[in-house]
Amino acid sequence: MSVLVRRAVAADARELARMRQLSLTCPEEPWTRARDLPEGPWGEECGKTFAAMLGDQDTVAAFVVDAAPGRVAACALGFLLPRLPGPDSSKPFNGDISTVATDPAFRRRGYARAVVTALMNWMTVRGCKRINLTASSEGEPLYASLGFTTDEPRRSRPAE
């Protein structure tokens, strides 16, 4: 089964803020108010920050699987972080993966794998030497299967 993944745009900012809350709280039930921002002022600020960050097409990307128009089922956000050349590599970036989340109503369908893989590919094409992330215990099997190794609490893998 093929999963349709697309690069997120600024119009996805509210949904990415909702997904960030999911990634931080891991509720058991889907959050049914899909268009609502997380409670409190941080939700609005988070949405605005996502909108601004997604305008930087060179060093920030998010990939999503849509659940319906205006609703995201899964996402992964990544940053390219400048690095100095070294004797083992002149690649200009390290990557950092953040806010990997799947709405509970859409789990166990391969969506997290699809968005993380799309993000890793984007990072690799742009010249990443290493990709890092911080994993929850729930996400550890996925990241291990993608080649990440443990360096508590971060996971990293060569970008190839």
Whole-angstrom Cα distance, residue 37 to residue 126? 32
Low-confidence ranges of the chain (pLDDT < 70): 1, 26-39, 152-154
Residue 32: what pLDDT?
45
At residue 41, the pLDDT reads 80
Nearest CA-CA partner of 19 in 7, 30, 28, 5 = 30
> How high is the pLDDT of residue 9?
96
Report angle CA 157, 144, 109 to the nearest 5 degrees: 120
What is the maximum alpha-carbon separation in the chain? Answer: 51
C-alpha distances out from residue 144 to 10, 29, 77, 129, 151, Å = 31, 26, 18, 18, 12
For residue 144, the model assigns a pLDDT of 92
Cα separations (Å) of 14 from 17, 122, 158?
5, 23, 32
The residue count of the chain comes to 160
Enumerate the β-bridge partners of residue 130.
Answer: 158
Q: What pLDDT, on the 0 to 100 scale, is given for residue 132?
A: 93
Phi, psi values for residue 14, rounded to 5°: -65, -40
| Bridging pattern class, strands 128-134 and 93-102 | parallel
pLDDT of residue 135: 83
Q: What's the pLDDT score for residue 157?
A: 77
Per residue in 52-66, pLDDT tens? Answer: 999 888 999 999 999
Using the 8-state DSSP alphabet, how is residue 2 labeled?
Answer: -
pLDDT at position 34: 43
Predicted pLDDT of residue 131: 94
